[in-house]
Amino acid sequence: MMKGEIAGRATPTPVAPIEGTQWHFFAEGRKSHRPVKRQRKAQSLNVAYEVSDGEKGEGTELLKVPSWEPQDWQQQLANIRSMRSGKDAPVDQLGAEHCYDPSAPPKVQRYQVLLSLMLSSQTKDQVTAGAMQRLRARGLTVDSILQTDDSTLGTLIYPVGFWRNKVKYIKQTSAILQQRYGGDIPASVAELVALPGVGPKMAHLAMAVAWGTVSGIAVDTHVHRIANRLKWTKKVTKSPEETRRALEEWLPRNLWSEINGLLVGFGQQTCLPVRPRCQACLNQAMCPAAQRL
């Protein structure tokens, strides 16, 4: 299948990855509702994957009014923003939006964004950034990766978590990108998660950083943990993907793009997996988990 003919439709017009941070522009120009008459009831937005803005026509925006929302969540969010105002967590300096070569062609930039996300799974940002530096030093493109033998690739990405599996996934995904997408990455979440080694969190972040599209909330272990500690889910969730669906049920869409980076940094600095620093947290008095920790 040639580029531009993905799933029987034209792909959205590519946009260059944003510089600095991926979150600034997402909420611009969005409206939460339209004053028009409807013939049928508005449906709750509860889908696994959404089409990108470029695929939507006029009048396709779904309206939703949450039937439930967490107690004190707005004040908790404001407090987290205050604690994160310094933007000095590892994710702020070494996240996916900082790991690609800004001088490379847009298609190569998008590929590098995807690879950085694949490497980041169960790996600290510092380790991911180091692996990306070593790969970029050799010229990080689809062709260069396919021409690199597995042993050399493993040496370059070590010690990222599960590096042996990631060597296999990177090679398989790169071959698919070359054969089906002309060396570019897909422009939809459904096609991204179909790639070997790419999960929902990576796909939503790739859509945000590489394509400039908010497709959903990117939930990793930090977001999953903190959402449950603050009881931002109606019931306890057992996986990041379950947490994503629960958050998207009530969290206003204009906050979707912000929440990942905000909570990841908060989880790296304050709401730690083990021995969280509750004494230094502005949410201590209103955090259900703080009363038990």
Domain assignments of the chain as residue spans, ordered by start:
73-87+218-280, 99-211
Decide if pLDDT at 50 tops 80: no
Q: Does the pLDDT of residue 21 top 90, yes or no?
A: no
Reply yes or no on whether the pLDDT at 6 is more than 50.
Answer: no
Q: What's the confidence (pLDDT) of residue 292? A: 78
pLDDT higher than threshold 80 for residue 38: no
CATH 3.40.50.300 fits 99-211, yes or no: no
Whether the predicted pLDDT of 40 surpasses 60: no
Higher pLDDT, 148 or 19: 148
Predicted TM-score (pTM) of this structure: 0.77
**pLDDT-above-90 percentage for the chain:** 76
Return the minimum-mean-pLDDT range out of 6-15, 252-261, 272-281: 6-15
Calculate mean pLDDT across residues 57-82: 79
pLDDT at 10 > cutoff 80: no
Residue 253's contacts (CB-CB under 8 Å, 6 or more residues apart) are: 30, 32, 214
pLDDT in tens, 177-228: 999 999 999 999 999 999 999 999 999 999 999 999 999 999 999 999 999 9
Give CA separation, 91 vs 119, 126, 186, 224, 242, in Å.
Answer: 14, 9, 24, 16, 23
- Nearest CA to 11 among 206, 184, 201? 184
Q: Output the six-digit token pair for 128.
A: 């991911």
Predicted confidence at residue 63, as pLDDT, reads 54
Fold match between 73-87+218-280 and 99-211?
A: no
Separation of alpha carbons 258 and 135, rounded Å: 29
pLDDT (tens digit, 9 = 90+) per residue, 141-187? 999 999 999 999 999 999 999 999 999 999 999 999 999 999 999 99
Q: What is the pLDDT of residue 293?
A: 65
Q: Which of 107, 201, 231, 238 is catalytic?
A: 201
- Among residues 105, 109, 104, the alpha carbon closest in space to that of 185 is found at 109
At residue 257, the pLDDT reads 95
Is residue 201 part of the annotated active site? The answer reads: yes
Higher model confidence: residue 39 or residue 68?
68
Two tokens at 34?
A: 């339209």
Q: What is the pLDDT of residue 253?
A: 96
Residue 218 CB neighbour total at 10 angstroms? 29
- At the topology level, CATH places domain 73-87+218-280 in Endonuclease Iii, domain 2 (1.10.1670)
- Give the orientation angle of helix 256-269 with respect to helix 73-83, to 10 degrees: 60
Task: Give the burial class of 57: count Cβ atoms within 10 A of its Cβ; 0-12 exposed, 13-18 middle, 19 or more buried.
Answer: exposed
For range 119-137, the mean pLDDT: 96
Cβ atoms of 216 and 202 within 8 Å: the answer is no
